[in-house]
Amino acid sequence: MPKEILIVDDDLDFVETMEIILKGNGYATRTARDGEEALKKVREKIPDIILLDIMMKTKTDGIWVSERIRAEENLKEIPIIMITAVNQDADMAKFHLGQETDMEYMPVNVFMEKPIEAKDLLKEIKNLIGGPEEKK
């Protein structure tokens, strides 16, 4: 059975692109359009990994979701890759979030800025959970 990736983003074009890339590389996908839907889907069926945007319903929706996931004992080990354009937003750019500077308090495994290269994303996914059919 292929490994499942939950894509959480309100940008439908981005979600469709991710689904094409991930399914084309052997992964199964589910999607959520905001933090509340993401939590509901994670609690119904735990994915192997989550791709999570920051800015959805609110400018920090994704951070809120990752904090909730890390706070729940049965969910806290799910790998999370945050994929965001937060540093391109005028209101948020002053904070300039990043992998090197903010990982100590950012409750995610990897932080990637949009636009991302498919090969880079696939490499990070494989590092965290292995290939689509591999045991990690």
- Could you tell me the pLDDT band of residue 32, with boundaries at 50, 70 and 90? very high
> What pLDDT does 92 receive?
45
The answer to whether residue 91 scores a pLDDT higher than 70 is no
* Average confidence (pLDDT) over 3-18: 96
> What pLDDT does 105 receive?
57
Q: Where are the domains of the chain?
A: 4-129
- Could you tell me the pLDDT band of residue 59, with boundaries at 50, 70 and 90? low
Mean predicted lDDT score pLDDT of the chain: 85
* Average confidence (pLDDT) over 23-51: 97
* Average confidence (pLDDT) over 11-25: 96
Distance CA 63, CA 49 (A): 16
> What pLDDT does 13 receive?
95
Among 9, 80, 83, smallest CA distance to 49 is for 80
Distance CA 99, CA 87 (A): 12
* Single pTM value for the model: 0.85
Distance CA 117, CA 17 (A): 11
Distance CA 59, CA 79 (A): 22
* Average confidence (pLDDT) over 68-87: 88
- Of the two residues 101 and 109, the one the predictor is more confident about is 109
> What pLDDT does 95 receive?
47
The CATH H-level (homologous superfamily) assignment of domain 4-129 is Response regulator (3.40.50.2300)
- Could you tell me the pLDDT band of residue 36, with boundaries at 50, 70 and 90? very high
